[in-house]
Amino acid sequence: MRLEETLRDARSGGRPLLVPYVTGGLYDGWTELLEAVVAAGADAVEIGIPFSDPVMDGPTIQTASQQALARGATPMTILGDVEGLAVGAPLAVMTYANLVMHAGYDRFASALVDAGVDAAILPDLPLDEFGPWGSAADAAGIETVLLAAPTTTDERLARICERSKGFVYAVSLLGVTGERGSLSEPSSTVGERCRGLTDTPVLLGVGISTPEQAAEAVRHADGVVIGSALIRRLLDGGGVDVAADFIREVRRALDETAS
C-alpha cells in the first residue's frame, strides 16, 4: 500500500498531489525522467507501458507509444529498466488489459513487484471485468487504481471508490487523453462526487494541460495527473530539463493554492 500511504501522508500535510505520466521506453535512458520529475515535485509517477492499440489515448500519447514500440520497448524491458532504481516516490504502471492478460495476471503482478512498482492502472479493465486481475494484484500486494468517469452512475461510483486502491482516477472529461484549451466543466462535478464517497485520494486526470488548469482542478480533487502536456514537450525535442521545469511550474501553481 505504498502509493496510497504516500499520497495520504502528503495530503494530510496540506499538499495538493501531483502525479506525472511518462511513456516507458521513450528514449535511451528514459528513466532519468522519473528521478527528474520527482525532484521537481511529483508525489508519484505513472509509467506508461505502450500498447499497439491505445483506445483511451489521444495523438500525443499514441505518438509516444509508437516511438517506444519502434525502439523495441516491451513490458519486460520497461520493467527491467525500472528495477533497482531509487526514484524516491511510488511508481504505478498504466497499460492496457491485453498486455497484462498476455503475460498472465499472476505473472504480470509479480513482475511489477520484482521491478519495484507499487500500483497499476488499466483503463480498459472496468469494475465489471476487474475480478481476476484484482485477486492477482491483491495477492501480490499491487494496488490497482480504478477510473471514475463523468458518465458513471452513483451506484457504480460508490463501488469504484470502494474498490480503488492507491487513488481514485477521476476522468475529468468525456474524451481521451490529450491537451485541452481549458479545464472541462464536468471535472469539478466528478471530482466532488468521488470525494463525497471515499477517503482514498481523488486525482483528476485526462486533459489537464497547464499549471493554471492544475491549480483550478485541485479545488475539486486532492490532486492531478499530468500526461500529454509533459509528453508533448518531450516529443517536441525538450529534454529532461524541460520536463523538470514544467513539473516544477505545476508544483508551484499547486502549492500556491494551498498557501
Partner 1 sequence: MTAVSGRGGPVVLPEPGPEPVDLGRFGGFGGRFVPETLVPALEELEDEFRHAWSSGDFRREFGGLLDTYAGRPTPVTECHRLSERLGVRVLLKREDLTHTGSHKINNVLGQALLTRRMGKNRVIAETGAGQHGVATATACALFGFDCVVFMGAVDAQRQALNVWRMGLLGAEVRTVESGSATLKDATNEALRDWVASVETTHYCIGSVVGPHPFPWIVRELQSVIGSEARSQCREVLGGDDPDAVVACVGGGSNAMGTFAGFRDTAARLVGVEAAGEGLESGRHGASISRGVPGVLHGARSLYLQDEHGQIREAHSISAGLDYPGVGPEHVALAESGRAEYDSVTDHEALEAFRLLAESEGIIPALESAHAIAWVAREAGAALPSGSTVLITLSGRGDKDAAQLADAFADTGSGAGSGTASGTGNDGP
Q: Examine the residue annotation and report whether 57 is marked as an active-site residue of this protein.
A: yes
Nearer to partner 1, 2 or 159 (CB): 159
How many angstroms separate the Cα of 180 from the Cα of each of 8, 100, 134, 137? 29, 30, 32, 33
Q: Please list the helix, strand and coil fractions of the chain in percent, rounded to the nearest 5, in that order.
A: 50, 15, 40
With binding defined as CB under 8 A, does residue 245 bind partner 1?
A: no
Q: Shortest distance, CB of residue 254 to partner 1, whole angstroms?
A: 25
Q: Which cell numbers in the block locate residue 103? A: 503475460
Asked if residues 130 and 144 have their Cβ atoms less than 8 Å apart, the reply is: yes
Q: Examine the residue annotation and report whether 212 is marked as an active-site residue of this protein.
A: no
| Binding residue for partner 1, selected from 20, 25, 123, 227, defined by CB under 8 A | 123
Within positions 11 to 40, which residues make up the interface with partner 1, using CB under 8 A? none
Nearer to partner 1, 6 or 177 (CB): 177
Catalytic residue among 4, 46, 118, 179: 46
Tell me phi and psi for residue 54, to 5 degrees: -85, 90
With binding defined as CB under 8 A, does residue 151 bind partner 1?
A: yes
With binding defined as CB under 8 A, does residue 150 bind partner 1?
A: yes
With binding defined as CB under 8 A, does residue 70 bind partner 1?
A: no
Number of residues that bind partner 1 (CB under 8 A): 42
Q: Shortest distance, CB of residue 224 to partner 1, whole angstroms?
A: 18
Distance of CA 38 to the CA centre of its chain: 14
With binding defined as CB under 8 A, does residue 74 bind partner 1?
A: yes
Nearer to partner 1, 6 or 209 (CB): 209
Amino acid identity for residue 150 in this structure: P
Which parts of the chain fold into alpha helices (H)?
Answer: 2-12, 32-39, 59-70, 75-82, 97-103, 105-115, 131-140, 154-163, 186-195, 211-217, 228-235, 240-258
Residue 236, classified by CB atoms within 10 Å of its CB into exposed (0-12), middle (13-18) or buried (19+), is exposed
x/- binding map, residues 179-198, to partner 1, per CB under 8 A?
A: --------------------
| Binding residue for partner 1, selected from 175, 233, 240, 249, defined by CB under 8 A | 175
Cα within 13 Å of Cα(160), Cβ side: 31
Could you give the angle at the alpha carbon of 142 between the alpha carbons of 137 and 147, nearest 5°? 85
Catalytic residue numbers, as ranges: 46, 57
Residues in contact with partner 1 by the rule CB under 8 A = 51-56, 58, 62, 66, 69, 74-76, 96-99, 101-103, 123-129, 146-153, 156, 160, 171, 173-176
